[in-house]
Amino acid sequence: MTVRPEHVLLYAATQGDLVKCYAAADVAGIPYSQCTGDFQTAWSKCADASTLVIAVGGAALYALYYNPCGWSNPAATPAGHTPFTVEPAGQGVQTARANTFVNAAGYTALDSLTLAVMLAYYAVHGAFPRGYASLPAQEVPQRVCVTGSSPHVVGVSVSQGVDPSPTVSTPSVGLYASFSTEQEVLQAFQQGWPGVATTTALGIETSPYTQVIASQPDLHIARAFAATGHSAWWLSFWTVSWPEAGKGFYEAGYAAGAYAASQVEAYPGTRKPDFVILDPEGYNNPASTAAEFQSFIQGFVAGVKSVSQRLQPAFYVNQWQYVTYDLQTVAEPCFLAIAPIEGNRPMVSGSNIRGYIAYYAGCPATSYVNQVKTWGGLYNTVQFRDSGVDCPPA
């Protein structure tokens, strides 16, 4: 028997891990009120046989297992031990037990996020989300008081210490590529491309309707920015499937947006994408009306914002979709697909169009870049046929 959402508690002992709690709650359908950064609350609920507690991140795991920081607790137990045990590793848990909690602490931030999403979802639904296979490796509890951890994480601020995004005031043409290594991103920087873009996730059939691909191209981009402090702009595309039967378009978009934002917030470094972009395609039955299509977009926007207020959601469509579904009326930024590049121009216009995603370019790329610049978008890209970093923009 699964656990009711209101009987699952996601506990974090740092602000970064509390963000992961909210993201996991979004995907699993757990109320935000069931996310806490309060150690005493987590302790009390862990002792209660009716609540399944999930410790998200290493600091929370260590706190509930050893209380190495010596935080006050309802049992007045001194530092060094607690009465709690951890559920067996490597499997989902769907039953609450007194004095036992679930370990969602991975060896990387991304692993902790994935564990939180998978284990929270399993607790409520009795299965992992579609497209998720085995759990990432789970940390072993340690007698370590983690720097920056707190017995009472009051709230989450995601706007502090953020690198400013570049200001783009004239048409700019960056490179869309697969970026399978950090070195490829650095190569694009060195070649003089003013921006980089990639598709970092593909659609899956069930919630959250998108999943980061194995090569993790966005992660390579984040690492390149962290290593160099480069001033290029960054477009992050998320291919999202339409809702499965019985689910609403807003609901599906929301789940995908929350998943995307939670992944982005776990990237290394302080620099994040300038736009987190919904690419609606993949499995299931697509929207057939403007209301459905726009609801899908609005759900994605709300999902992103539920996790991170600093991220800018956007959407990507072709020109036919833009006209057919009345997408010029949507307030969010739009990116339009254009092909071919040579001798072509956009056939639609709208105040929400931020750029054109054009393909394919060749080497030398100068004529293709100059052609796209004439279209007037601020954040544009060209793509080579092999999705590689083939040559400089000029």
Q: What is the CATH number of the domain that holds 363?
A: 3.20.20.80
Strand partners, 196: 175, 234
Q: Are residues 88 and 180 in the same domain?
A: no
Asked whether residue 310 falls in the same domain as residue 202, the answer is yes
Instruction: Give the CA dihedral 373, 374, 375, 377, nearest 10 degrees.
Output: 40
What is the domain extent for residue 282? Answer: 172-384
pLDDT in tens, 83-100: 999 999 999 999 999 999
- Which of 125, 141, 162 is at the close of a domain? 125
Is 128 a residue whose pLDDT tops 70?
A: yes
Q: Does residue 389 lie within any of the structural domains? A: no
If asked whether residues 303 and 360 sit together in one domain, one would say: yes
Angle, nearest 10°, between helix axes 15-28 and 249-265? 160
C-alpha distances out from residue 306 to 19, 155, 255, 384, Å = 10, 13, 10, 35
CA 268 vs. chain centroid, Å, equals 13
Quick one: what percent of the chain has pLDDT higher than 90?
82
pLDDT level of residue 165 (50, 70, 90 thresholds): low
pTM for this entry: 0.63
202-225 mean pLDDT = 95
Mean pLDDT of the chain: 93
| Confidence tier at 158 by pLDDT (50, 70, 90) | very low
Q: What residues contact residue 22 under an 8 Å CB cut-off, 6+ apart?
A: 32, 35, 156, 262, 306, 307
Question: How many domains, the chain?
Answer: 2
The confidence score (pLDDT) of residue 157 equals 41
Confidence bin at 159 (pLDDT 50/70/90): very low
Structure-derived torsion over alpha carbons of residues 104, 106, 108, 113, reported in degrees to the nearest 10: -20
Q: Is the CB of residue 249 less than 8 Å from the CB of residue 299? A: yes
Alpha-carbon span 172 to 394, nearest angstrom: 13
Looking at residue 163, its pLDDT comes to 52
Task: Say yes or no: 352 and 241 in one domain.
Answer: yes
